[in-house]
Structure 1
Amino acid sequence: MPSYNYDEFSPDDYDFDTVEGPVVGQKAPDFELTTSDGRTKRLLDFEGDFLVLEIGSITCPLFQSRRGIMQPLQQEFPQISSAVLYVREAHPGVDIPGHQNFDDKLACATRLKSEDGETRTVFVDDFEGAAHLGYGSMPNAVFIIDRKGCVRFQAEWNNPSATRKALAALIAGKPVRVKSYFRPALPPIALKTLGRAGRGSAGDFFRGLPFLIWTNLIKRNLRLLFNQQQGARKSPGC
């Protein structure tokens, strides 16, 4: 991968076969980050019993498709905190290009709040993506982390229905048995998101689409169906 902040999307920018971030039973990495409103705060300094952390950017069709279910979780489960880690643009175009500096990333995160109406706390990763890389570098992963900083649920691709069921089980003190199958972005939201990013965004996305369908919709879901574990990088356990 030549550069973390790419100008054109390619499937080669991601490793779809290895779980690079922390998995269930491992410690979640903590980072001191800037929020979209300019505060400095530690990622794992949260209120409540659990933190639901979703990875995203305004040019990610998957993230934009999930927000309608993910945002209300904190109202439904008031004993949790919910946040977004804003990372590199998943599908940059001429109107929303890849970030050239931290201010570009902060500006896009601010647009997520002001234009898209995001209600969750938005943490802005640094320019080189230290936190994103620490959490596996996927464009729309999700983690549920407890007060001790332990990962209790994790999915490389957020399936909001599965995330909600996992959260409900954890709050009830029950084991999490849900499988987080990959689900594509809603087509109207995907087209709107890519169009907003501008020329180049949709073209790069559709060129990579056959590979993405094979690796995620087919291969990954079959792996989950038959309980086959992906290779995972070792990190400190809880």
Structure 2
Amino acid sequence: MKSYNYDEFSTKGYDFDSVIGPDVGDKAPDFPLTTTDGETKRLLNFSGEFLVLEMGSITCPLFQSRRSIMEPLSRQNGVSSAVLYVREAHPGADIQSHKSFDDKKTCALRLKNEDGESRTVFVDNFEGSAHVAYGSMPNAVFIINKNGCVVYRSEWNNPSATQKAVQALLAGKAVTAKPYFRPAVPATVFKTLGKAGKGSAADFFKGLPFLIWTNIIKRNLRLLVNRPKVGSWKTSC
């Protein structure tokens, strides 16, 4: 891809086989970011014992299909939950790639006002500095403890595994949940791509066979046979 804010989705723009960004036990990158409320806050200045940080955009079917499960996490005692608004995963004629920070903020506001997102939404800068630091995947999720350390991560958010990780952390236990890749709900896929407009669905389905092979088969097999790194509330970095 020629730029961070690509005009057309392509599987060539992502490294699906490598772990990029902070791993479990690493220091989580911190950034001053603007929220959709117009405030500037540091990403790691959270009030709970843990921060659940999910990457997302309104044109990402995976993110959109997980929101109804992820949003209630922010209502659990001891948990802060936020979305980092990143580049459009599948831009189309109606929701195009961002050409400025204002474009990005407008899309993030649509997530809040039209889609009803209740979590804090941080808007990454135009160049995607925070997103790149966290690995650049469209729907990754990280859990960060009060020490500022990553205690759980997944390149693709599996809400069930994320919930299990949160429950373990709140109970003072180590995280052992494996985030197997689960595809988005088909109805949400068509709704999201249809809203993005012409070109979005074509680019998505063009890359679909590769995405199935890389994520549902290869990635899940790696998770099955490998032991994940374990984080906990006391992880230091």
Report the TM-score range of the alignment, normalised by the length of the smaller protein: over 0.9
Work out the CA distance in 2 between the residues paired with 1:229 and 1:5. Answer: 32
Give the partner amino acid of 2:4.
Y
- For structure 2, the residue ranges without an aligned partner over 5 or more in a row are 230-235
Give the partner amino acid of 1:69.
I
Whether the 8 Å CA contact 1:223–1:229 is kept in 2: the answer is no
Distance 1:137 1:71, change over 3 A: same
- For structure 1, the residue ranges without an aligned partner over 5 or more in a row are 231-236
Work out the CA distance in 2 between the residues paired with 1:83 and 1:74. Answer: 8
Question: Percent identity between the aligned chains?
Answer: 71
Work out the CA distance in 1 between the residues paired with 2:216 and 2:90. Answer: 19
| 2:79 corresponding residue in structure 1 | 80
Work out the CA distance in 1 between the residues paired with 2:156 and 2:12. Answer: 17
Confirm whether residue 10 of structure 1 aligns to residue 34 of structure 2: no
| 2:30 corresponding residue in structure 1 | 30
Q: CA deviation at 1:176?
A: 1.0
Q: CA deviation at 1:196?
A: 0.1
Deviations 1:172-198 (A, max 9, x none): 011111110000000000100000000
SS of residue matched to 2:187: helix
| 2:162 corresponding residue in structure 1 | 163
| 2:212 corresponding residue in structure 1 | 213
Give the partner amino acid of 1:176.
V
SS of residue matched to 1:143: strand
Work out the CA distance in 1 between the residues paired with 2:198 and 2:227. Answer: 39
Work out the CA distance in 2 between the residues paired with 1:34 and 1:163. Answer: 25
Give the partner amino acid of 1:209.
L
Distance 1:133 1:228, change over 3 A: same
Work out the CA distance in 1 between the residues paired with 2:176 and 2:35. Answer: 33
Whether the 8 Å CA contact 1:54–1:141 is kept in 2: the answer is yes
Whether the 8 Å CA contact 2:176–2:228 is kept in 1: the answer is no
Q: CA deviation at 1:157?
A: 0.3
Deviations 1:76-96 (A, max 9, x none): x22110000000000000000
Work out the CA distance in 2 between the residues paired with 1:69 and 1:229. Answer: 23
Work out the CA distance in 2 between the residues paired with 1:149 and 1:227. Answer: 26
Q: Scaled by the length of structure 1, what TM-score is found?
A: 0.95
Work out the CA distance in 2 between the residues paired with 1:65 and 1:100. Answer: 26
Work out the CA distance in 2 between the residues paired with 1:79 and 1:223. Answer: 32
Work out the CA distance in 1 between the residues paired with 2:54 and 2:177. Answer: 18
Work out the CA distance in 2 between the residues paired with 1:78 and 1:114. Answer: 25
Coordinate RMSD, CA, aligned:
1.2
| 1:142 corresponding residue in structure 2 | 141
Work out the CA distance in 2 between the residues paired with 1:24 and 1:73. Answer: 20
SS of residue matched to 2:191: helix
Confirm whether residue 227 of structure 1 aligns to residue 226 of structure 2: yes
Work out the CA distance in 2 between the residues paired with 1:148 and 1:40. Answer: 21
| 1:234 corresponding residue in structure 2 | none
Deviations 1:148-192 (A, max 9, x none): 100010000000000000010011011111110000000000100
Q: CA deviation at 1:228?
A: 6.8
Work out the CA distance in 2 between the residues paired with 1:16 and 1:228. Answer: 19
Count of residues in correspondence between the two structures:
231
Which portions of structure 1, spanning 4 or more consecutive aligned residues, are displaced by more than 2 angstroms?
Answer: none
SS of residue matched to 2:125: coil
Q: Scaled by the length of structure 2, what TM-score is found?
A: 0.96
